[in-house]
Amino acid sequence: MQSLASDSYIRWYEEVDNSKVAEVGGKNASLGEMIGQLQSQGVRVPIGFATTAQLFRDFMQQNALQKPVADLLLQIHSDNSNLAAVGSQIRGLVAAGNFLPEQQQAIEQAYIELGQRLGSPEPSVAVRSSATAEDLPEASFAGQQESYLNVTGADDLLNFCRLCFASLYTDRAIVYRQAQGFAHDQVALSVGVQQMLESECAGVMFSLDTETGCPSMVLINGAWGLGETIVKGSVTPDRFMVYKPHLAHDHLRPIVERQLGSKLVKMVYDDNAEDNTRTLDTSENEQHQLVLNDDEVLLLSRWAQLIESHYACAMDMEWAKDSLTGQLYIVQARPETVQSQASHSQLFDYHLQGSSELLLKGASVGSAIATGSVCKIDSPADIEQFPEGAMLVAQRTDPDWVPVMRKASGIITDTGGPTSHAAIVSRELKVPAIVGTAQATQLLEEGRQVTLSCADGAVGKVFDGALPYVCEQIDLQKIPATETDIMLNIAMPDSALRWWAMPNAGIGLTRIEFIISSLIGAHPMALLHPEKVTDEETRNKLAELVTGYERPRDYFVDNLAMGVGKIAASVYPRPVIVRMSDYKSNEYRGLLAGEDFELQEENPMLGLRGASRYYHERYREAFKLECEALVKARETMGFDNIIVMIPFCRTPKEADQVLAVMAEAGLKRGENGLQVYVMCEIPANVILADQFAQRFDGFSIGSNDLTQLVLGIDRDSAELKPMFDARDEAVKRMIAQVIEEAHKHGCKVGICGQAPSDHPEFTEFLVACGIDSISLNPDSVPAASLHVAAAEARIKTT
Please, which residues have CB within 8 angstroms of residue 794's CB and are 6 or more apart in sequence?
764
Report the SS3 class of residue 391: strand
Nearest Cα to 701, choosing from 670, 721, 673, 731? 731
Helix extents (H) in 511-580: 512-515, 524-528, 536-545, 552-569
CA angle, 528 then 530 then 533, to 5°: 130
Cα distances (angstroms) measured from residue 460 to each of 43, 237, 456: 35, 16, 7
Nearest Cα to 413, choosing from 384, 374, 468? 374
* List 161, 454, 680, 752, catalytic entry: 752
Q: Are 297 and 242 in contact (CB under 8 A)?
A: yes
Q: At what angle do helices 154-166 and 53-62 cross, to 10 degrees?
A: 80
Q: What is the DSSP letter of 293?
A: -
| Amino acid at position 417, single letter | G
Strand partners, 474: 347
Largest CA distance in the chain: 94
Active site residue 752: yes
Cα distances (angstroms) measured from residue 540 to each of 283, 559, 572: 20, 20, 39
Report the SS3 class of residue 16: coil
Q: What is the DSSP code string of 402-449?
A: HHHHTT-SEEEESS--TTSHHHHHHHHHT--EEE--SSHHHHS-TT-E
CA angle, 754 then 757 then 760, to 5°: 130
Calculate the dihedral angle through the C-alpha atoms of 686, 687, 688, 692, rounding to the nearest 10 degrees: 0
Q: Are 201 and 225 in contact (CB under 8 A)?
A: yes
Q: How many residues does the chain have?
A: 798
* List 246, 421, 523, 787, catalytic entry: 421
Cα distances (angstroms) measured from residue 22 to each of 57, 231, 313: 12, 25, 20
Residues known to be catalytic: 421, 752
